[in-house]
């Protein structure tokens, strides 16, 4: 896969991602693809493999969900789709994604942002890809999330951008006030950020106005973040998993503090999932109980 470096004219930063509780840190990373229009030949649906063995997600570098399925990229550049009910997986396309920085999805497609800052649309059925927008335009992105099929991203300079994922056209929202963003996520209505000082903010997706939620600095020890059914779930360095009401900032611990090694945390359907030590777990969001998937 070839990359073409480039920069957006007004580059700013901020961080977007978040919430962790257990041994899985989530990310809404992106798969990257080549700037060429080469596409794998579609030869019908690939056969599912057996459920992964212990440690099979040890080389995962990015993941996202779409339609209740897990899509993940390995260090080798391979893109996988996993059935979260039984852990069975299948490879999609060729090993074209080793340089992916972020992997995320809208309602229909997967997207990646490469290390050179280029944005690609990826077919979730066969891994075929094509570039969206100008090569290298997302070079300075530090955090991102999708909402209503638009990409919201923060750049190092603190600017927040909204990108039309169909055309790749983007525009800045509000002032460049987001340079200290550590995590960025959404509850399907608003954007949220957790800043470097551990404070949680609600951000308007229309004009980037923001307001603090809960106590300042309360999320200072958060290592991963996810959302599920209108609630924010985070994992702290202590290993504790917390559920936060984004309307009030009120939070409560869920289950035992068993999640300190969480690398990725994400929600799908009615469950939380984590990757911890290379293993995939399903977590009950009401009590923190968990079970390995696909073993």
Mean pLDDT for the stretch of residues 93-121: 98
Model confidence at 33: pLDDT above 50: no
Query: Helix (H, G, I), strand (E, B), or coil: what is residue 102?
Result: strand
pLDDT of residue 55: 84
Model confidence at 200: pLDDT above 50: yes
- Please state, for a pLDDT cut of 70, what percent of the chain lies above it: 82
Mean pLDDT for the stretch of residues 99-126: 98
pLDDT band at 294 (very low <50, low <70, confident <90, very high): confident
Model confidence at 243: pLDDT above 50: yes
Q: Please give the Cα distance from 232 to 234 (Å, whole number).
A: 7
Model confidence at 80: pLDDT above 90: yes
Residue listed under structure tokens 């794998």: 40
Model confidence at 38: pLDDT above 60: no
**Per residue, what are the HEC states of 118-178?**
CEEEECCCCCCEEEECCCCCCCCEEEEEEECCEEEEEECCCCEEEEECCCCCEEEECCCCC
CB-based contacts of 54: which residues, under 8 Å, 6+ apart? 278, 279, 292, 295
Mean pLDDT taken over the chain: 86
Largest CA-CA distance found in the chain, in angstroms, rounded:
54
Mean pLDDT for the stretch of residues 245-256: 96
pLDDT digits (tens, 9 = 90+) for 44-59: 444 444 445 678 899 9
84, 274 in Cβ contact below 8 A?
no
Q: Please give the Cα distance from 111 to 279 (Å, whole number).
A: 24
Q: Please give the Cα distance from 37 to 40 (Å, whole number).
A: 10
């Amino acid at each position: 896969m070839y990359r073409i470096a480039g920069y957006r004219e007004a580059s700013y930063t901020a961080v977007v991602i978040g919430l962790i509780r257990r041994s899985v840190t989530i990310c809404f990373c992106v798969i990257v693809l080549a700037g060429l229009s080469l596409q794998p030949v579609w030869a019908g649906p690939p056969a599912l493999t057996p459920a992964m063995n212990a440690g099979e997600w040890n080389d995962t570098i990015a993941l996202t969900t779409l339609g209740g399925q897990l899509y993940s990229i390995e260090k080798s550049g391979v893109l996988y789709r996993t059935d979260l009910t039984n852990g069975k997986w299948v490879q999609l396309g060729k090993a074209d994604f080793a340089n992916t920085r972020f992997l995320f999805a809208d309602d229909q497609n997967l997207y990646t942002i490469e290390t050179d800052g280029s944005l690609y649309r990826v077919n979730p059925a066969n891994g075929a890809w094509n570039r969206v927008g100008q090569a290298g335009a997302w070079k300075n992105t530090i955090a991102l999330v999708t909402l209503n099929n638009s990409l919201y991203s923060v750049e190092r300079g603190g600017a927040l951008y909204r990108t039309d994922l169909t055309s790749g056209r983007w525009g800045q929202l509000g002032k460049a006030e987001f340079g200290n963003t550590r995590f960025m996520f959404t509850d399907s209505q608003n954007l949220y950020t957790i800043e470097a000082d551990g404070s949680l903010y609600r951000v308007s997706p229309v004009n980037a106005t923001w307001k603090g939620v809960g106590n300042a600095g309360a999320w200072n020890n958060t290592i991963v973040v996810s959302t599920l059914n209108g609630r924010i779930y985070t994992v702290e360095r202590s290993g504790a998993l917390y559920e936060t009401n984004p309307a009030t900032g009120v939070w409560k611990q869920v289950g035992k503090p068993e999640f300190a090694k969480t690398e990725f945390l994400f929600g799908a359907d009615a469950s939380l999932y984590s990757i911890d030590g290379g293993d995939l777990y399903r977590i009950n969001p009401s009590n923190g109980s968990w079970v390995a998937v696909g073993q």
